[in-house]
Amino acid sequence: MKRVVLLLLSAGLALWGQSTTQSLQGLVTDNSGAVVPGARITITNAATGVTRTVETNTTGNYSFQLVEVGDYEVRCEIQGFKTETVRGLRVETAAQARQNFVMQ
């Protein structure tokens, strides 16, 4: 009986540690390699249609926290550059997703 209880407790603890959200981050540069601050990055969950938007910081980096596992469209736009879109970016459990952009 003790073994069964310990086994059930162990299984419950393993499931409790699983996360269903991750981070998605990246760097935006221009075609010369210079960072692009102030670019608007929009992610859209393909299954739910939910969108979120952030801007790149002064070092050209962006980050979304607590991103649900799933497939995403990621769009990068800023005045003076061509809008870039990546479709089908997969965010997985226990793995940080990264999408860099080189703006033209």
pLDDT tens profile 46-103? 999 999 999 999 999 999 999 999 999 999 999 999 999 999 999 998 888 999 999 9
Q: Is the pLDDT of residue 13 over 70?
A: no
Q: Is the pLDDT of residue 5 over 50?
A: no
Beta strands in the chain (DSSP E): 21-30, 40-45, 51-55, 61-68, 70-77, 84-91, 97-98, 101-103
Interior angle at CA 93, CA 90 and CA 96, nearest 5: 65
Q: What is the sign of the dihedral through the CA atoms of 66, 25, 50 and 22? A: negative
- The structure tokens listed for 6 are 């310990």
| Rg value, the chain, Cα | 18
Nearest to 54 by CA among 16, 30, 28, 35: 28
pTM: 0.81
The pLDDT value given to residue 94: 80
> Starting from the edge strand earliest in sequence, which strands make up the sheet with 51-55, in order?
51-55, 40-45, 70-77, 84-91
The burial class, CB within 10 Å (0-12 / 13-18 / 19+), for 91 is: buried
Q: Is the pLDDT of residue 9 over 90?
A: no
Q: Is the pLDDT of residue 4 over 60?
A: no
